[in-house]
Structure 1
Amino acid sequence: MDKNLKKILTEYRAKKNLYAEYCNVVHVLLENILHSGNYKYHMNSRVKEINSLKEKVKAKKQRGKIYKQLSDVKDIAGIRVVFYTDSERKRFIYSLRNEFEKKIIVQETEKKTGYRSTHIIVNFGNKRIRLSEYKKFKGLECEIQLALILNHAWAEVEHDILYKDDLHLNNLDEKKYSLLKQRMQKVMDNYIKNASNELEEIVGYVKRLKKHK
């Protein structure tokens, strides 16, 4: 086994429970922000399993990215928040900046397929770390992924069919697999993008109506 990989896995085995506790604390914190801000959302959280971490480190190495220590891996603790509209997503990012003393890293990503998501790396700032209940989380980070509900639904289906691929369609019939990819892309291009924009406009229109009542 690679020396760096062995070191990372050894450290993670010792800290996995701490990461799980940290992830749960961040989850509760986000839930409080979302609830007090009257957001409409779905949220789930997880910490990486050891085998999943192992595969990630190996895959990244093949692509030229070398992880030398556990702290290099930013998504060991991960939380996904799904919003109905993009305006809510942007509002939540603003809330996060205030909550985490503006010490957050925000990365907007868009895949070739058109699927968009926001990845945010957070850690507890000095003010929180000074509190006794948070001291043990010093140096830990959590990745918060923000997505829109229609994009999220499309991505889940795409992942299950094309990447998880329990039916091994890619190995059995490349032509059919290629056609499936094209159909999924058509759904994104012709329906998901337009529907997301329409939903955003409808929600905005309803809010304006309420203001003028």
Structure 2
Amino acid sequence: MSEEHINKIISFYNKYSVFRLNELLPIIIKHLEFELKKNDIPARVAGRVKNPVSLKEKLLNWSNNPKKKANISSPETTLKLVGDLCAVRVMTYTELDRSKVQNLVEKMFKSPDGTKNFGAEVKEVSDLRIKDDIENHYRATHMQICLKDEHIRKEENKPLTLDSCELQITSMLSHVWNEIEHDTKYKTKTGQLSKEEKLAINSLGLLTQTGDHIIRSLLSARDIRHKKEDDSKQIEDDLFINENELSDFLQNHFGEKIGPAKINYSQGNGSLLKVLEAIDWNHPKDIKTHFSPKILIDARARTNRIKSAQKREGRIKSLIKTDSCDIFFVAICIIDFDKAKMAIEHTQSKHRLSVILKAFVDP
């Protein structure tokens, strides 16, 4: 096949294909990036439209290859056989996610007409140059994809659904190894690598496997940290923000009575909230954990005894209120007296609570 004919194909490519493929490429990348993020698959996406110079080199190589020479015919037919005119690479953080991306892609796009199952090819399995060479560490899945009609908004862009795009799915580390290995071989004058170069490239390949395990461990540790941070944020969001919120929760959780008598949860709720904040019990789960029905009934009985003692002493000020949130402060005294004592320093009712605390010791 003459170079003149190949030049005609390149001219046709420049005139009728390049602009269309440059419209196709960003649409594919946009949809991939959106779905990868939506499905929590950490990866990077890159793509390119084949340079005319690179295309010419490929066609010249075909013309010199007896098995490929027959692929060169009319411009349109020839270009349909070049699978990587538009090419996108998805680089996952780990090897483990490669199959996840493939499954996702099969749902997102359609297989080109005449191509079964997206022409999916796991290179380390199907390519004997890789499969039979234990020192070849390239790991990738190659596919051919087409846009679906739903990806196109404007009617005039519908022809883009007829163009196929090569998709390479590989891990970042495998991609780095492949680029270095390719460039090292490409830049040799003889096409043969030295023993030292081969050893270094193989060592780098083995390190990519170790690196993959490290990245997986890192991502796992990151997920655990994020979960802890989210849980901590949720707890922070659920803290009682004011005394009215505390009163509403106490009313809903314990009901209108503790024991035989009604409780006014709005009375003394401000002081109680300060106490709970001081001892870090100001979350609904803390209330549920620490204030059992038995504790509160015991606290109510103790509150009644304190009130009786105060009356016998003729006390008028700082009287304990048996139908108020004072019961919860007495309950804290029962649960952990030292916490109750410490909490007094952080409230605006120091004198009153100090009197109750003293009365608790000897009611």
Task: Sort the TM-score into its range (normalised by shorter chain).
Answer: 0.7 to 0.9
Post-superposition offset of 1:85 = 1.5
- TM-superposition CA deviations, 1:23-70 (whole Å, max 9, x none): 121111211112222221122110011010011122234342243311
Post-superposition offset of 1:201 = 6.1
Amino acid at match of 1:185: N
Tell whether the 8 Å contact from 1:74 to 1:142 is kept in structure 2 after alignment.
yes
Per the alignment, residue 183 of structure 2 pairs with: 160
Per the alignment, residue 259 of structure 2 pairs with: none
Tell whether the 8 Å contact from 2:32 to 2:45 is kept in structure 1 after alignment.
no
For residues 61 and 182 of structure 1, the distance between their equivalents in structure 2, rounded to whole angstroms, comes to 35
For residues 34 and 133 of structure 1, the distance between their equivalents in structure 2, rounded to whole angstroms, comes to 28
Tell whether the 8 Å contact from 1:47 to 1:76 is kept in structure 2 after alignment.
yes
Matched, 1:94 2:111: no
Post-superposition offset of 1:130 = 9.6
For residues 32 and 210 of structure 1, the distance between their equivalents in structure 2, rounded to whole angstroms, comes to 21
Matched, 1:54 2:56: yes
Amino acid at match of 1:180: E
For residues 110 and 41 of structure 2, the distance between their equivalents in structure 1, rounded to whole angstroms, comes to 21
Matched, 1:139 2:162: yes
Tell whether the 8 Å contact from 1:27 to 1:79 is kept in structure 2 after alignment.
yes
Tell whether the 8 Å contact from 1:9 to 1:54 is kept in structure 2 after alignment.
yes
Per the alignment, residue 39 of structure 1 pairs with: 41
For residues 55 and 177 of structure 1, the distance between their equivalents in structure 2, rounded to whole angstroms, comes to 27
Per the alignment, residue 11 of structure 2 pairs with: 10
Tell whether the 8 Å contact from 1:106 to 1:119 is kept in structure 2 after alignment.
yes
For residues 18 and 209 of structure 1, the distance between their equivalents in structure 2, rounded to whole angstroms, comes to 45
- TM-superposition CA deviations, 1:13-32 (whole Å, max 9, x none): 12211111111211112111
For residues 8 and 194 of structure 1, the distance between their equivalents in structure 2, rounded to whole angstroms, comes to 45
- TM-superposition CA deviations, 1:179-210 (whole Å, max 9, x none): 3123212321x322343245446656876998
* Aligned partner of residue 143 in structure 2, secondary structure: strand
* Aligned partner of residue 74 in structure 1, secondary structure: coil
Match of 2:189 among 170, 174, 191: 170
Post-superposition offset of 1:170 = 3.4
Q: How many residues align?
A: 206
> Residues 2 and 170 of structure 1: is their aligned pair in 2 closer, same or farther, counting only changes over 3 Å?
closer
> Residues 41 and 9 of structure 1: is their aligned pair in 2 closer, same or farther, counting only changes over 3 Å?
same
* Aligned partner of residue 121 in structure 1, secondary structure: strand
Structure having the higher Rg: 2
Per the alignment, residue 19 of structure 1 pairs with: 21
Matched, 1:65 2:74: no
Match of 2:207 among 191, 198, 202: 191
Match of 1:78 among 87, 100, 104: 87
* Identity within the alignment, %: 23
> Residues 105 and 205 of structure 1: is their aligned pair in 2 closer, same or farther, counting only changes over 3 Å?
farther
For residues 107 and 75 of structure 1, the distance between their equivalents in structure 2, rounded to whole angstroms, comes to 14
Q: How does 1:121-136 map to 2 (within 5 A)?
A: 121-125=144-148, 132=155, 134-136=157-159
> Residues 143 and 210 of structure 1: is their aligned pair in 2 closer, same or farther, counting only changes over 3 Å?
same
For residues 102 and 25 of structure 1, the distance between their equivalents in structure 2, rounded to whole angstroms, comes to 16
For residues 151 and 43 of structure 2, the distance between their equivalents in structure 1, rounded to whole angstroms, comes to 26
Match of 1:116 among 115, 139, 144: 139
Post-superposition offset of 1:155 = 1.6
* Aligned partner of residue 119 in structure 2, secondary structure: strand
Kindly indicate whether structure 1 or structure 2 has the higher relative contact order, using CA contacts under 8 Å at least 6 residues apart: 1
**TM-score normalised by structure 1 residue count:** 0.80
Matched, 1:149 2:151: no
> Residues 145 and 31 of structure 1: is their aligned pair in 2 closer, same or farther, counting only changes over 3 Å?
same
- TM-superposition CA deviations, 1:86-118 (whole Å, max 9, x none): 232211111111112466231110223131111
**TM-score normalised by structure 2 residue count:** 0.49
Q: Which runs of 5+ in 2 are unaligned?
A: 73-77, 113-117, 125-129, 232-363
> Residues 198 and 61 of structure 1: is their aligned pair in 2 closer, same or farther, counting only changes over 3 Å?
farther
- TM-superposition CA deviations, 1:131-172 (whole Å, max 9, x none): 615412142110111111211121222223222x2xxx434x
* Aligned partner of residue 170 in structure 1, secondary structure: coil
User: Which stretch has the larger CA shift, 87-96 or 46-55?
Assistant: 87-96
Q: Which runs of 5+ in 1 are unaligned?
A: none
> Residues 6 and 122 of structure 1: is their aligned pair in 2 closer, same or farther, counting only changes over 3 Å?
same
